[in-house]
Amino acid sequence: MGFTRILFLTLLFVWAADVQCQNVKIFNVKKYGAIPGGKTENSKGFLEAWKNACQWKGKAVVLVPAGTYLLDSVKFEGECKGYMIFKLKGNVMAVSKLKDINQWITFKYVNGFTLAGRGTFDGQGHKVWPCKRNGQCQTLPISLRFEFIKNGNLQNIRSINSQNAHVSIFAGSNLNISNIKLFAPQDSPNTDGIKISSSEEIRITRTTISTGDDCIAILNGSKKTHISQVSCGPGHGISVGSMGGNTVIDNKDIVVGLTVKNSTFTNTSNGLRIKTWASHYQGLASGFTYEDIIMNNVENPIIIDQQYCPNSPCDAKAASRIQIRDITYSNIRGTSRSKAAVTLSCSSVVPCKNIVLKDIKLVYTGNEGPASSICSNVHGHSFGVQNPPSCFRSA
């Protein structure tokens, strides 16, 4: 290789590296007027940083540096010209009364997005939970809403004391959530960890959720949801539904394709739950695999409840028309706080089909004898160890 050729290649390399670097631009919220210290409300500075970043054609990093930033309700919307990164190094704290009752922070219409950093979103829930508990406020804002976000990553952040759910994903696709932490007290009202609806290919891994409601709620329109290495508890478990609670005529609720693997539930009210309202609306829940799950002191480790009717508008005597089928529970072990460690309570009009139980080892810790199974309107098979004894004939 001649000298000129090497020189040429070196220059080409330097030029390419330079283009790559130029391609990344940082938009520090402080440069757009945000002031840390927890006293000044900063939505203007944050939005200004986002707007400018959104116009950048390369990788745009909206940076929230160390410090505590007070923030009212804000929506960070696309379409954006390049790849958007929201990097939270500091802490963002909700103002005491958020102006939008539905949301605190929303990310919307972004294709190619990362929310990262080791910072914290602090919803200041303890300031509003009393009004929820005594019925003096109706809706409370969800901390982080992701709507119409495609091809994204959500990693390393923490959300604490959300007023309502911590994270809600609507109309998302190909989103990877990893290493996040969601915390709220066990008795905080409606503080679901992650709610998913009308979304496809949402993957959640290496995540810790301790909260007052469902750790993860998989709702209508969720397809191909993958959950692994999640630690849940306290909380209400990983729940599909409630399904069939809508009142839109001719509309169906559908949840298809779900895997929950290598996850642990500790001191939760439910473990793996599927619930449908006792109502006339149709739908389908199918293609679920629950595998390698540990239950520590869980009230209802495995539960299908098709008679869910805590309050109107459902009719406790109506039978659910949601079809539940092709559900596999494999290697589920640990302790149950209730005697009925396995409850498969299906609909009399559309019985559950092809429910598979494989190696279930659940021990009841109370003093009313060994663990038991409760089954109604369910067809399936069992394989391997069955403790409690399965309702199915073993295959």
Ligand X SMILES: *[C@@H]1O[C@H](CO)[C@@H](O)[C@H](O)[C@H]1NC(C)=O
Binding site for ligand X (CB under 6 A): 151-153, 174, 176, 198, 203, 220-221, 246, 248, 251, 253, 262, 266-267, 292, 297
Our CB check for ligand X shows the closer of 176 and 286 to be 176
Cα separation, 224 vs 328, whole angstroms: 15
Strands 222-232 and 200-210: parallel
Q: Which residues contact 66 (CB under 8 A, 6 or more apart)?
A: 36, 89, 90
HSE-CB for 110 with a 13 A CA cutoff? 30
Place of tokens 């396995």: 342
Q: Is 236 annotated in the active site?
A: yes
> Minimum Å distance from CB 176 to ligand X?
4
Q: Which two tokens stand for residue 379?
A: 């067809």
Question: CA of 211: how far to CAs of 151, 193, 271, in Å?
Answer: 27, 7, 14
Q: Which residues contact 168 (CB under 8 A, 6 or more apart)?
A: 142, 144, 145, 146, 194, 195, 196, 197
Three-state SS for 121?
Answer: strand
What is the rounded end-to-end Cα distance, in angstroms, of the chain? 70
For the CA atoms of 77, 78, 83, 85, the dihedral, rounded to the nearest 10 degrees, stands at: 0
> Minimum Å distance from CB 193 to ligand X?
16
Our CB check for ligand X shows the closer of 96 and 251 to be 251
Our CB check for ligand X shows the closer of 91 and 239 to be 239
* CB-nearest residue to ligand X: 221
Our CB check for ligand X shows the closer of 70 and 298 to be 298
Q: Is 305 annotated in the active site?
A: no
Our CB check for ligand X shows the closer of 293 and 378 to be 293
> Minimum Å distance from CB 379 to ligand X?
26
> Minimum Å distance from CB 292 to ligand X?
4
**Options 214, 236, 253, 305, the catalytic residue:** 236
CB atoms within 10 A of CB 80: 21
> Minimum Å distance from CB 18 to ligand X?
26
Q: Which two tokens stand for residue 261?
A: 């693997």
**Options 213, 214, 253, 305, the catalytic residue:** 213
Q: Which residues are catalytic?
A: 213, 236
